[in-house]
Structure 1
């Protein structure tokens, strides 16, 4: 499996990584969820080179994760906003934050950002639940089967 061909793999993880599997892309997405929208703001917050930032933003726009929206006409200036496809990455980002808060924080200081559920006002952590019964699930609670998107593409079924 070659990095530049991940988007052609029959594996959903590989195809997803072809779009967001770069460290700068994930950090850009983090900032998008924190409300950052303008190129200069990304650049100053991240300390990323203009070339790399331009490349990552262009890829996210090409893959319909972000959309460029004008906020000024003369001169024309645009900002980057999450699309529905981009907003659908929120559980992914939240899971990464939760993992980092659990395993990568300084024990003395704790988590750098706290997520509060607006509806109830309490601190929250993401929970994966079954879409059918609503029961919480972990890796040990799931069985993986080969689906139609894999059959016929790969001779020997593999699991992700």
Structure 2
């Protein structure tokens, strides 16, 4: 449960849904095309009860939806919603940070490439609306009201 200060913070609210390692790993696998409970379980090696609770949270939070399997079988599959697909840049940012700081030179790792060309994905950068790159010291936090 968020305290009053954290309730006003978008990062704190996002972590309520995405702050669990398994939530992000499930979304990563969904981006890779997995959708069935058994596929997630096999790929992640996660206990069924933990996987079920994380999938339930992701569905309740609107990041995944459960629908009939696309192959016409009796199974159900988890599909990314628009809200779920919008997490993609966050997963890419975590991937790029991990690639940069958590692997030794020459150490094997997976790579994410553009499907059409096979080219590497450019590093993400935080930019202003007019395209200038921002650093943390270039930003300020302010309480605002929208809507």
Change (3 A) 1:7 1:96: farther
Residues 33-48 of structure 1 mapped to structure 2, 5 A cutoff: 33-48=31-46
CA distance in 2, matches of 1:49, 1:26: 16
- Tell me the SS of whatever aligns to 1:53: helix
1:84 corresponds to 2:75:
no
- Partner residue of 1:59? 57
> By how many angstroms is 1:139 displaced?
1.7
Give every structure 1 segment of 4 or more consecutive aligned residues whose post-TM-superposition deviation is greater than 6 Å. Answer: none
TM-score for both structures, normalised by structure 2: 0.85
Change (3 A) 1:31 1:7: farther
- Partner residue of 1:157? none
Number of aligned pairs?
Answer: 143
Tell me, yes or no, if the aligned pair for 1:128 and 1:136 is still in contact at 8 Å. Answer: yes
Tell me, yes or no, if the aligned pair for 1:65 and 1:85 is still in contact at 8 Å. Answer: yes
- Tell me the SS of whatever aligns to 2:103: coil
TM-score for both structures, normalised by structure 1: 0.79
Residues 75-114 of structure 1 mapped to structure 2, 5 A cutoff: 76-110=74-108, 112-114=109-111
Tell me, yes or no, if the aligned pair for 2:63 and 2:82 is still in contact at 8 Å. Answer: yes
Cα deviations by residue, 1:24-53 (Å, 9 ceiling, x for unpaired) = 111111111111111001111111111000
Structure 1: runs of 5+ lacking an equivalent: 150-160
- Partner residue of 2:120? 123
CA distance in 1, matches of 2:56, 2:139: 36
Tell me, yes or no, if the aligned pair for 1:66 and 1:80 is still in contact at 8 Å. Answer: yes
Structure 2: runs of 5+ lacking an equivalent: none
Change (3 A) 1:10 1:143: closer
- Tell me the SS of whatever aligns to 1:28: helix
> By how many angstroms is 1:59 displaced?
0.5
> By how many angstroms is 1:7 displaced?
9.0
